[in-house]
Amino acid sequence: MSREAKHFDTRFKMALLHPRFWLTWLAIAVLVIFGILPASVRDPIARFLAVIVMKIAKKPIKIARINISHCFPEMSKTEVETLVKQNVKMFVLVLLSQAELLFRSTAHLKRRIQMNGYEHVKAARDAGQPIIFIMPHVWPMEYAGLRVNMEIPIVTMAKAHRNDLFNWFSNRMRTSQNGRVYMREAGIRALLAELKKDNSFFYLPDEDLGPDKSVFTPFLGTVKATLPVVGRLAQAGNAQVMPVNIGYNEQAKQFVMTIMPAISPQEMAGKENEALALNKAVEQVIKAYPEQYMWFLKLLKTRPPGEKRFY
């Protein structure tokens, strides 16, 4: 990683062959094999493995149950459990397929990812505006980013992992269409600089980043701490803000992606309005494919003063 540029260095280094990475190399090899298998072979294996994951991933599944119960208080325990099982299955399905983003052809990926709503992107680009794509943490989010990057320049931001080899592999995948991935510590200034260079990016507004500068806003069946920075970024970078949803269709064996119309600047005027607009966009994306959202995240970690913690 280059600390000066604050973006991930995806060049291969001999240090990645150190014995401490051999188990990681084995895991990558397994993912590559699954990535090049046809979906008709891979998907049934993933469904079988999901049953095993349900039995061993106790802590993440507990978090998922808590999140779903608070976000959908109208659901019965049986309905919550059904959604959790579907969520685990989609996690394994997407995980085992992701290596295809690096090793399969562009033509194959375009067949695998059906993109709808690109006319909104084209209209913004014809007007000379970059785009901030709003997408919460969904299992197939890497597919959405790469598919858009096939059409227009894209950058993104990611948290560094402790394993350097995993960092290299995951970011090689994300940049396989000539994109760029910044480290999180690069901050908002790096993204603003990219907008001014006419580059677009994906922004994930659903992560709970603590109470500092966040706004508590209605979110599904509860409230959530949301950081309102997108509106100011869009205004400073003359950008449009477009929500994106994506989900895997098991029958068609395709990822179906929809780029929605831009959120109007008026809807994001002021921190409270922006937080509400962002949460509404996230709700839209989640409701399109509720079984494919990352319910394992502690997205409701920060609570309003006096409210009991969920986790």
Q: Comparing C-alpha atoms, which of 119, 120, 65 is closest to residue 300?
A: 65
Helix axes 58-71, 77-97, angle to 10 degrees: 120
Cβ burial, residue 192 (10 Å; 0-12/13-18/19+): middle
Pairwise pLDDT comparison (174 vs 22), residue with the higher score: 22
Report the percent of the chain where pLDDT is more than 90: 74
Residue 179 lies in a domain: yes
Supply the pLDDT for residue 56.
95
Residue 307 lies in a domain: no
- Structural domain tally of the chain? 1
Which 8-state DSSP code applies to residue 153? -
Pairwise pLDDT comparison (121 vs 188), residue with the higher score: 121
- How many angstroms from the chain centroid is the CA of residue 45? 24
Supply the pLDDT for residue 12.
85
Question: Of 12-16, 33-37, 146-150, 283-287, which gets the smallest average pLDDT?
Answer: 12-16
Residue 220 lies in a domain: yes
Pairwise pLDDT comparison (8 vs 72), residue with the higher score: 72
State pTM to two decimals: 0.91
Supply the pLDDT for residue 5.
54
What's the rounded Cα separation, in Å, for the pair 223 and 220?
7
Which of 2-16, 85-99, 177-191, 263-277 reaches the highest mean pLDDT? 85-99
What's the rounded Cα separation, in Å, for the pair 2 and 141?
25
Supply the pLDDT for residue 256.
97
Predicted confidence band at 2 (pLDDT cuts at 50, 70, 90)?
Answer: very low
| Statement: residue 1 has pLDDT above 80 | no
Going from the C-alpha of 230 to that of each of 58, 136, 164, 258, the distances in angstroms are 35, 13, 30, 20
What's the rounded Cα separation, in Å, for the pair 196 and 177?
21
Cβ burial, residue 244 (10 Å; 0-12/13-18/19+): buried
- Residue range 86-108: average pLDDT? 94
- How many angstroms from the chain centroid is the CA of residue 115? 16
| Statement: residue 4 has pLDDT above 50 | no
| Statement: residue 288 has pLDDT above 90 | yes
The whole domain housing 247 covers 106-292
Residue 36 lies in a domain: no
Q: Are 203 and 134 in contact (CB under 8 A)?
A: yes
Q: What integer best gives the mean pLDDT of the chain?
A: 92
Span 200-244, pLDDT tens digits: 999 999 989 888 889 999 999 999 999 998 998 999 999 999 999
Residue 82 lies in a domain: no
| Statement: residue 302 has pLDDT above 50 | yes
Helix (H) or strand (E) holding 56: helix 39-56
Residue 21 lies in a domain: no
Positive/negative CA dihedral, 150, 193, 10, 162: negative
What's the rounded Cα separation, in Å, for the pair 131 and 120?
10
Token pair of 255 as six digits: 């990822």
Supply the pLDDT for residue 80.
97
Residue 117 lies in a domain: yes
Supply the pLDDT for residue 3.
44
Span 254-271, pLDDT tens digits: 999 999 999 999 998 889
- Residue range 159-185: average pLDDT? 83
Supply the pLDDT for residue 72.
97
Predicted confidence band at 131 (pLDDT cuts at 50, 70, 90)?
Answer: very high
CB-based burial, 207-236: b 16+ in 10 Å, e otherwise? bbeeeeebbbbebbebbbbbbbbbbebbee
Pairwise pLDDT comparison (171 vs 80), residue with the higher score: 80
What's the rounded Cα separation, in Å, for the pair 14 and 17?
6
Residue 47 lies in a domain: no
- Residue range 15-24: average pLDDT? 92
What's the rounded Cα separation, in Å, for the pair 106 and 96?
19
